[in-house]
Amino acid sequence: MTHLLAPLAAADPSEVGVVGDLVIVLVASAAAALLMRRLGLAVIPAFLVAGMVLGPHALGLVPAPDQLGPIAHLAVVILLFGIGLELHLSSLKGSVLQLLASAVLACLICVLAGWALSMGFGLDGPRALLVAMALSLSSTAVVLKMYAARRELTRPSGRLAVAILVVQDLAVVAMLAVVPFLAREAGIEMEDGGAFQDGFDVLLRLAAVAAFVILSRYALTPLLRETLRGGQTELLLLVGMAYALGAAWGTYALGFSLEMGAFLAGFVLSGTSFRHELAGQVVPVRDFFLAVFFTTLGMQLDPAVVADEWITVLTATAVLLVTKSVLISVVCWLFGTHASVSAVVGLSLGQAGEFSLVLLGQAATVGLLAPQDSAILIGVVVLSLLVTPTLASGGRALAHVLVNVPLVPWAKRTPLARRYEEGDEGGDTGPFVVIAGFGPVGRRVAFDLEEADLEYTVIELNPATVNSLHEQGIEAVLGDVRTDAVLREAGLENARAFVITVPDDQATQRACALARRIQPDLIITARAGLERAVGPLRAAGADHVVVDELAAADRMADTVVAKLCDTDAKA
């Protein structure tokens, strides 16, 4: 293997180029991610480790990682766009003020405590604040995946964790904007130091951004409706990404960051009915760029520094996990959440997250963090992510010990005051059906379900149909049935049955496979245009397959037999 890689290691960077570096990065990150998933661990640390091995401080297969800098920066922009797109407060229904108050105070206290502790580790004020902000962020991807796997997103613990993660994601935009100011406070000269002339200039630029956001809300819906005319979902991604990058460029031209514009673009799109379909298409693009970003970030790590400072890394990780878990738990308890639920949430959010790495990467780029400090902090983030599943399991075990701890005296009796073991809040009760496609077949299925007094949700790609269903008070999600995010938004994780009436055998097969992965116990009934599609659909996960041509033949035969029998009886 070494002799095969030797030519790459010896090649001149200008000869290999960005494409060659990108190939090496993608192959290595894919292999590392597969290994980590096999071990049941988070994939983000795998990208960082892969980058450390590939980088100039180890094997040197990518001797000039700066060549991938523009792609890594684009990855951050797309990541912020995806966060804005998925940011919605519908999951916080009920006790919203309690949830948000707990989340905001928990985030603020974590930053303040981290600031003091970071200064205790020898950092000056601006650098300590940067580190505190970075480590106050938890991993949205890892935590939501854990809660979804345990089906606890609608339980008090899940809703509280989501609230804190939403607040953290919102804070990321402000934190990224603060990095240049912290750099100036630390005595680092910034190229864009004169971007704003005075306070009035800032207000004018902010007014321009606000005007852009308001105009976008009115213009985007008809544009996206036209984009989906004829069911061309691929064009939706193109228009969405063009809008996101255009907004990023616009805010940059106004003196703000690219990340801010991308986040605002996602946030505007999150208020449209096209959000679920667009989010499902953006996720694969985002994941591709994130692999490049985190692998490139890992190339800045010097294994020798991490090895020399392993005691510091372990100590800082322990301090982070204990301090953050305790603070979040105590704040949640003080705001009226039961102690058992507070412990689960605190220990689930004790780690640092993917945005911690983004913030640290930005700080290193502007010179706010020395390479050695950056390496130590990235090591802390990676280690905290690796121990998160164990920490979360400990939180659930601790919850059973704290079930008898009383509420604070001023707590009101809200759903969040329930004990951890008391289950969810009834949001997923009652069997219901998800219908994919609302043509003649879908409408007939819906009519029969209504006759049987069964609730259903519709997935439909036609915006006009979705609007019509909403006007009738019927739950409907706009999107392609082949999209994971759309199926989850329709509630497939909690459904009892899934009826696919889409007249497209390949789309139906893809939907069956996705649905079976999301909900293994789901009853799936699929429509097939041709008899030869039955086998593949059953292999994909369909329990029952109704073939159009056979159903028509059966109906015709029944009609003929009934008519003949009636004639014979009269004779």
Instruction: Please name which of 272, 289, 177 lies closest in space to residue 222, comparing C-alpha atoms.
Output: 272
What are all long-range contacts of 365-369, with beta carbons under 8 Å and residues at least 24 apart?
Answer: 366/179, 366/180, 366/183, 366/188, 366/190, 367/183, 367/188, 368/126, 368/127, 368/130, 368/179, 368/182, 368/183, 368/186, 368/188, 369/127, 369/130, 369/131
Q: What pLDDT was estimated at residue 220?
A: 83
Domain ranges of the chain: 2-398, 432-570
Q: What pLDDT was estimated at residue 324?
A: 94
Q: What pLDDT was estimated at residue 199?
A: 59
Q: Does domain 2-398 have CATH number 1.10.420.10?
A: no
Interatomic CA distance for residues 344 and 391, integer angstroms: 9
pLDDT by 10s per residue, the chain, length 571: 445 445 545 555 444 567 777 888 888 888 888 887 777 777 777 888 888 888 787 787 877 777 777 887 788 888 888 878 876 655 555 556 777 788 888 889 999 999 998 888 888 888 899 999 999 999 887 887 788 777 777 788 888 888 888 888 888 878 887 888 888 887 776 655 445 555 567 778 778 888 888 888 888 888 888 887 766 677 888 888 888 888 889 888 887 778 888 888 888 888 787 887 787 788 788 888 888 888 887 887 778 877 888 888 899 999 999 999 999 999 888 888 888 888 999 999 988 888 888 888 888 888 888 888 888 888 888 888 888 888 888 888 888 888 888 877 776 766 677 777 665 444 444 458 899 888 888 888 888 888 888 889 999 888 888 888 888 888 888 888 888 878 888 888 888 899 998 888 888 888 898 888 888 888 898 888 888 888 888 888 888 888 877 776 777 777 777 777 776 666 5
466 to 461, 475, 478: CA distances (angstroms): 8, 9, 6
Which helix (H) or strand (E) element contains residue 283? helix 275-298
Beta bridge partners of 523: 497
Interatomic CA distance for residues 227 and 237, integer angstroms: 10
Q: Tally Cβ neighbours within 10 Å of residue 70.
A: 10
Q: What pLDDT was estimated at residue 327?
A: 93
Could you tell me if residue 88 is left (phi over 0), alpha (psi between -120 and 50 degrees) or otherwise beta? beta
303 to 1, 48, 503: CA distances (angstroms): 22, 11, 55
Fold adopted by 432-570: Rossmann fold (3.40.50)
Q: What pLDDT was estimated at residue 96?
A: 64
Strand order in the sheet with 497-500: 476-478, 455-460, 432-436, 497-500, 523-528, 544-547
Interatomic CA distance for residues 461 and 437, integer angstroms: 8
Q: At what angle do helices 156-185 and 354-365 cross, to 10 degrees?
A: 0
